[in-house]
Structures are given as C-alpha cells and as structure tokens.
Amino acid sequence: MKRRDFIKGSSAAVAGVASAAIAAPAISENRKQWRLITTWPKNLPGLGTTAQFFADQVTACSNGKLEVKLYASGEVVPAFESIDAVSAGTVEMGHGAPYYWKGKAIASQLVSNFPFGLTAQEYNAWYMFGGGAELCDEFYQDALGCRFLACGNTGVQHPGYSRKELNTIEDFNGLKMRMPGLGGAAMSAIGAVVINLPGSEVAQAFASGTVDWVEWNSPYGEATMGFWRYGKYYYTPGFHEAGTSLDLFINPAAWDTLDSQEKAIVTNCANSANIYALSEPVAYSGAILQKLVAEEGVIVKKIPDDALTAIATAVGELIADQVANDPWSAKLFASLSKFRSEQIDYTNTTEGAFIQARNLPYKFPS
C-alpha cells in the first residue's frame, strides 16, 4: 500500500484532532522544537523510559538546538493512530513497535522481528551491517509515509504468566491468552483462544479471569502489574519476541529540514536508545525475578518441547503464507531469513555455549 493511498482518510482526521491538541513547533534563532508522540504511557518501564531517554539525549546532544518534547499515548492521539499523525505532518516523530502497524502494512510485523527469529544482538547486526536499516527505511517510506530508525530493542521477553500449569500441547486447547502478533496467531493454531487487549487492560483482564495467560515483557516491565497474584506459573522461553525492535518514525518533510549534524544526532541517539532499552530491563529483572520466586511463590516453567515444536511449525506456515501474498513481506523476510541462517551456528557456539558452561555445577565466589 502506498502512502498516498492510506493517508487520505484516517490521517486527515488525525491531523485535525491532533492539531487542536498541541501547538506548532517553535523555530527561532536556528532552534527547533520537535514533538515526539509515543504509544506508551509516560515512563512505562523499558518502553516509555526509552522514548524519554531518546528525547532527552537529542535535546542535550544538540545543546537545545533541536529540542524534543515527549507526549505519552493519548495526549495527542490514541496510540495506534500515532503513525498517521506523523505521516500527515501533524507532529514530527513518534515511538512505538513496528507490529502495531500491521493493519496498515502487514510486513511491519517482520520489521519488529519474528517468533524464533533473531536475538537482539543478531537483529542489531542485521540492521547495522546486513542491509536492515536501508530496507526498513525504504519500506516505511513506501508503505507508511515515514522515515524509520530502530530506537530500542526489548531483548528476550517472557511469554507470560498462566493460571494453569501446562505440561503437554493438549493443555493449550481452549486456553484464553493475551499474546500479540505472529506469536499469538501461532498459539491460536495449536488450539489456544487468543484475546487481543490493549496494554491498559491487560492487568485487569488477568485479575478478572477474562484471560488465563497474559504476556507483557520482562519481570521489570511487569513489576507494577501484579500478574503473580493471579497466576503463579511464569513461562519460558520467549519464543515469540526474542529481540523485538522498537521504531522511531519520522515525518519525511520534517526530516529534510534537519541539517547533517542534526540528522547525525537523531540517528546516534536512536542507536544509543537501543543500548538503553536492552540494558534497563536486564539491570532490574534479575533481582525482581529472584524476589518473585522466593517471596511470591512464582514458579518458573518451560513450555513443553512438543508445544514449542508445534508453535514453531505454525509460525513457519503463517510466515510462508504472508510472504506468498505480500511483496514487502517477501523482501523483508528474504533478508532476515538469510541473516538468521548465517548466524545460528555462530550464536550456538558463542552465547549458547557460554550459557551452558555458566550453568555447570561448579562453585564460584558469591
């Protein structure tokens, strides 16, 4: 879908609403004020905090020449209308997750990464050295009317908390789950009932029993959710989102007003946000998980291998169908899949082998 095809309707409406909500950016004495709208609540751990870090870094690194003011989800437009507001030029840029835009361009969920896909480090390597940056930017301009920069990565997410213990693939039949994207579609394929919920409704849905299984991201990101009060089983591995990229989407006309130094600042601050987003959950999740297990009775469980195999098979079928029916999905997946196949053996002999060695039964000073 071309930019001109989809922004005629929804983007015009978004522009009208949003323009009334915030003032136009000030430009005086060679100083610019840009607005960054996000799909997150303000300072949401690991996500909203990354957006704020990026905004603050651009302002600081430009010495205020390019000041970025952040607006949380709903302050200007609803979360899922953010990309329309940026494409229409109502605001200069936004921050979210690429799979949020799959209703406008289905290939966007591959820009996020895909289940059983790349680790966060592999994704960043593909983005920086495997042609990913150019490919994603070309896709966003063609299909979504925005420029693209990777601006954060969640790393491996937990697939979720469950009220019920699951020991075989049959146990997933009829299980009511909240899981987004291709991971959720694959769970439907093995018999689960996937219920789509916005982030603001996830905790209440689990508490009320609307869902039996709820997915969010990491112990740190979930710390204020209280999921463990309603389901003690905390599942692993994070097959569905092993390294999910976050996106910075920028209005092309606004981007062209930046000089070369300002563009470099924005680009490098987005790169810096990748490190920030990956590091923040790791810094806090270890201690939080230990506390959940020791004090709250959380039980860490592995999804059964037969279920993982069936889920991976379902993911492969879903991707094959998407690639066959969408040219951009075919182009993106060809690049991602080639890079993935080249990295598997290397990653197994480095990170994979190291993790196995670290878990051997030796004594180490504490």
pLDDT in tens, 160-204: 999 999 999 999 999 999 998 899 999 999 999 999 876 768 889
Question: Is residue 310 in some structural domain?
Answer: no
User: In this structure, which amino acid lies at residue 359?
Assistant: N
Helix (H, G, I), strand (E, B) or coil at 251: coil
In whole angstroms, how far apart are CA 274 and each of 142, 243, 248?
24, 11, 11
Tell me the pTM. Answer: 0.89
In whole angstroms, how far apart are CA 54 and each of 1, 60, 79, 128, 151?
30, 10, 18, 19, 8
User: What is the reported pLDDT for 29?
Assistant: 64
Domain hosting 49: range is: 6-156+244-282
User: How many domains is the chain partitioned into structurally?
Assistant: 1
In this prediction, residue 9 has a pLDDT band, given cuts at 50, 70 and 90, of very low
pLDDT score of 17 more than 60: no
**Which class for 248: exposed (0-12), middle (13-18), buried (19 or more C-beta within 10 A)?**
buried
Question: Is residue 329 in some structural domain?
Answer: no
Question: Is residue 296 in some structural domain?
Answer: no
Average pLDDT, the chain: 91
Q: Return the DSSP state at 281.
A: H
Residue of higher predicted confidence among 160 and 14: 160
DSSP string covering 20-66: HHSPPPPEETTEEEEEEEESS-TT-TTTHHHHHHHHHHHHHHTTTSE
Question: Is residue 335 in some structural domain?
Answer: no
- Encode pLDDT of 111-152 as tens digits: 999 999 999 999 999 999 999 999 999 999 999 999 999 999
Q: Could you tell me the CATH number of the domain that includes residue 97?
A: 3.40.190.170
Question: Is residue 222 in some structural domain?
Answer: no
Question: Is residue 163 in some structural domain?
Answer: no
Distance CA 199, CA 213 (A): 14
- Encode pLDDT of 221-279 as tens digits: 898 889 999 999 999 999 999 999 999 999 999 999 999 999 999 999 999 999 999 99
Question: Is residue 13 in some structural domain?
Answer: yes
In this prediction, residue 4 has a pLDDT band, given cuts at 50, 70 and 90, of very low
Question: Is residue 18 in some structural domain?
Answer: yes
User: In this structure, which amino acid lies at residue 216?
Assistant: W
70: left (phi over 0), alpha (psi -120 to 50) or beta: beta
Query: Would you state the structure tokens that stand for residue 39, as one six-digit string?
Result: 């799909």
